[in-house]
Structure 1
Amino acid sequence: MTRDEFDAFCKKLPATTHVIQWGNASVWKVGGKIFAICSGWGEGDFPRFSFKCSDISYSLLTQQEGMIPAPYLARAKWVQMEEEGALSDADLKAYIEAAHKIIAAKLTRKQQKELGLAG
């Protein structure tokens, strides 16, 4: 997945916002809270995708080749894809969608309702 594909996918998720932070990282939020990041600073540098995940997914993914605990965010159960192809695009999208849901579920009911995330 390219950075542009990552941004296009995240943009389609409900109630998301996007900022460029920490140099040139593409940061995606829901309700002001981050759920996924694409970093990669050098020209031609492979984009590194980081995302929030469940406890079980964190345990499984950090044992997988090409996946590491995300720097600075591992204590909050975030992982980073360190090697291109460590996850298929379909799997990466599924994990990003799950990250969005995990973060959205942590918002207050009022926030969820205001963002159209709750009925």
Structure 2
Amino acid sequence: MSIFDRNGFDDLLAKWPGVTFVDQWDSHVAKVGGKVFAVLGNSDNWRLVVKCSEESFEILTSLEGIGQAPYFAKRKWISIADHSPLEREELEHYVRRSYDVVASGLTKKLRTELGIAIS
């Protein structure tokens, strides 16, 4: 099952503490503590939007099928097309990193309530 498939997306991300899903912006959105960390676009041309580091942003956006995410005003959000050269393991890594980055910005109290361990 592909991460670009809604069921595959949900199966992978639902395993992580505090993850919730909502349908908004004509997309399927994953949140942790009420904050967006991944967006799966609902269209014929599937796209996955995640937050990444500045270094990863520069490297990834130089690849075909990956660019700055539209409608996300701040840098470090990338849009990955289903035809990008990234392998499944790499996609999962970047989604998990997005989750970790967003979760680390939550209050310690909320992370504790959600069962999120941040080192």
Q: Structure 1 length as normaliser, TM-score? A: 0.88
Residue segments in structure 2 that go unaligned for 5+ positions in a row: none
Asked if the contact 1:20/1:27 (under 8 Å) is kept, the reply is yes
Instruction: State how far apart, in whole Å, the 1-side matches of 2:72 and 2:35 are.
Output: 13
> Which range moved further: 56-65 or 93-102?
56-65
Q: Does 2:14 match 1:11?
A: yes
Does the CA contact (< 8 Å) of 2:46 and 2:82 recur in 1? Answer: no
Which amino acid letter does the alignment assign opposite residue 116 of structure 2?
Answer: L
**Residue 66 of structure 2 contacts residue 84 of structure 2 at CA under 8 Å; is this kept in 1?**
no
Distance 1:53 1:20 in 2: 22
1:114 alignment counterpart: 113
The offset of 1:110, in angstroms, is 1.0
Measured against aligned partners, the alpha-carbon deviations of 1:53-84 in whole angstroms (never above 9, x if no partner) come to 11111111111111000001152410001352
Distance in 2, matches of 1:30 and 1:76, equals 20
For 1:57 and 1:68, the matched residues in 2 are separated by 12
Deviates more, 1:4-13 or 1:31-40: 4-13
| Regions of 4+ moved over 2 Å | none
Paired residue for 2:86? 87
Alignment of 1:54-73 (within 5 A): 54-73=53-72
Deviations 1:9-29 (A, max 9, x none): 111122100001112x11000
Q: Distance in 2 between matches of 1:8 and 1:86?
A: 22
Question: Aligned pair 1:35/2:37, yes or no?
Answer: yes
Q: SS of the residue aligned with 1:75? A: coil
